[in-house]
Structure 1
């Protein structure tokens, strides 16, 4: 049973993972990241889980790495940081991942949100990479994912000044897809997760893969991957079911085959 997370199974096919270190604004410890990786591995292997929502508290999604834990690690500890395996689990997670962000998403918290495929933010959300204020820099994808999400100028400003941006700024920059009233952030994220969970699982997985590939490859290579995935899906039972359901004016019953 995880100690720093709460996990709920919400029908149909959605897991809600809530970070629970309110006394530290959900600062990311080795234990929390390890438990999160374990839950994502469990979701990855569960055929009944089709989408995952990650959220925090009303005050903070996650306010960065745990500074007290960071202060205890020497250079060797940093180079051999067990948290790197946890971050790799987030990177490899192939099912749709949605972040519902209220309050602070700073440092590692912003990096955690950026591992999600979709970010829904409350009006009060604040996104930032303040590591420069500690004499360091983002180390869990903050420079790479942030630049791809918001562009060079905004990424440079956020990383080099350490100053956060608002939810509306994040939306205008492309970091966030929607901004809601804080009390509806999780509800909206779950609604999107439910919608995705009703779709054909193979199509969702391959569509996500193709979209992510578009971020780090040239157009020709991306188009080849897209055509290959499209061809694979053309031979699935779910494709046939989707067409029949459309013709018969009913909801499709996808099976993942």
Structure 2
């Protein structure tokens, strides 16, 4: 009798998992499977005390399942090639906690070698928030060495995002503070709602930007302006961010609260038709060249240029120009 009961429970759990997969496909499957919430093996309702005791024992020995705080969505149809990284830690306003950072690192890693991905959009599903920064509740429980290690993992995540070979766009529809702005700074491009609030506010907490903000912001807006923003911990609106070069585009917020995302999608659609290898090489040339002297930068450009010469896309681009038709790039 006990064996029959366990087989029925296992079948129920299997059916639940298949249902969860179907739901996840509706949002676009991530490149790597990740554990989702699992239904309990046994509910215990209507079971004998012995059966309930066995269920509790199995539950105690089952693996802890992390909540899903970051997901991947692959657009289809005419938008195929655009991938969205969806931040969905609702209760903590996308704060950068251990689970959030771990899941983000896994997703970003899965995108690095995916040649089908042409543009990545980082967006939030939490209303009025892009990313609120560090999870201060978690940080308060860390000692000095643990805090240092965690900030190192944050810095590594931002570097991982910055090193993605394809263009990345941050859609800032709300608050992006501290580590949240550092995440946006790690992207190639940023769109913002006028109502968005952005700032490196670490000095107001007795800290400094530790996930790349002290280095990326000066390279983006200039040293003196970056120093002012960091020293004062000042927040700026999306409109001001556009004026100072922190955002590429800024738009009025709409009724659904996703104006920056819609603008990011428009930007991604402008990039999508271009030759993907050429776009990737252009990104590499700019990113590597900006770090060195002009002579070395020219050598980097020459290397990147040489890598597009033998591609089919280059030949297709030339043929399309001569034949006066739109090119059809395949990324080869």
State the TM bucket, normalised to the shorter chain: over 0.9
Q: TM-score, length-normalised on structure 1? A: 0.94
* Contact in 2 for aligned 1:13/1:194 (Cα 8 Å): no
The one of the two structures with greater contact order (alpha-carbon pairs below 8 A, sep at least 6) is 1
Question: 1:84 Cα shift?
Answer: 4.3
Partner Cα distance (2:189, 2:155) in 1: 22
Distance, in Å, in 2 between the alignment partners of 1:182 and 1:10 is 23
Confirm whether residue 135 of structure 1 aligns to residue 192 of structure 2. no
SS in 2 for 1:251: coil
Which residue does the alignment assign to 2:100? Answer: 32
| Alpha-carbon distance in structure 1 between the residues aligned to 2:212 and 2:155 | 11
The answer for unaligned runs of 5 or more in structure 1 is none
Structure possessing the higher radius of gyration over alpha carbons: 2
Aligned match of 1:253: 328
- CA offsets per residue over residues 126-179 of structure 1, 9 Å max, x none? 110111111111100111001111112221111111111121221121111100
| Match for residue 8 of structure 1 among 70, 73, 92 | 73
Q: Which moved more, 1:141-150 or 1:223-232?
A: 223-232
- 1:252 deviation in Å? 1.4
- In structure 2, which of residues 302, 310, 330 is the aligned counterpart of residue 235 of structure 1? 310
- Supply the RMSD in Å over aligned alpha carbons: 1.6
Runs of 4+ with deviation above 3 angstroms: 82-85
Aligned residues: 257
Q: 2:260 & 2:162 partners in 1: Cα distance?
A: 23
Is residue 2:280 matched to residue 1:205? yes
Q: Distance in 2 between matches of 1:181 and 1:7?
A: 26
Q: Is the 8 A contact 1:30 1:83 kept in 2?
A: no
Please say if residues 73 and 83 of structure 2, whose CA atoms lie closer than 8 Å, have aligned partners that are also in contact.
Answer: yes
Whole-angstrom distance in 2 between the partners of 1:86 and 1:213: 19
Q: SS state of the match for residue 207, structure 1? A: helix
Give secondary structure in 1 for the equivalent of 2:329: coil
Partner of 2:253: 182
Deviates more, 1:86-95 or 1:44-53: 86-95
What displacement does 1:91 show?
3.1
Structure-2 separation of matches of 1:41 and 1:198:
24
TM-score (norm 2): 0.74
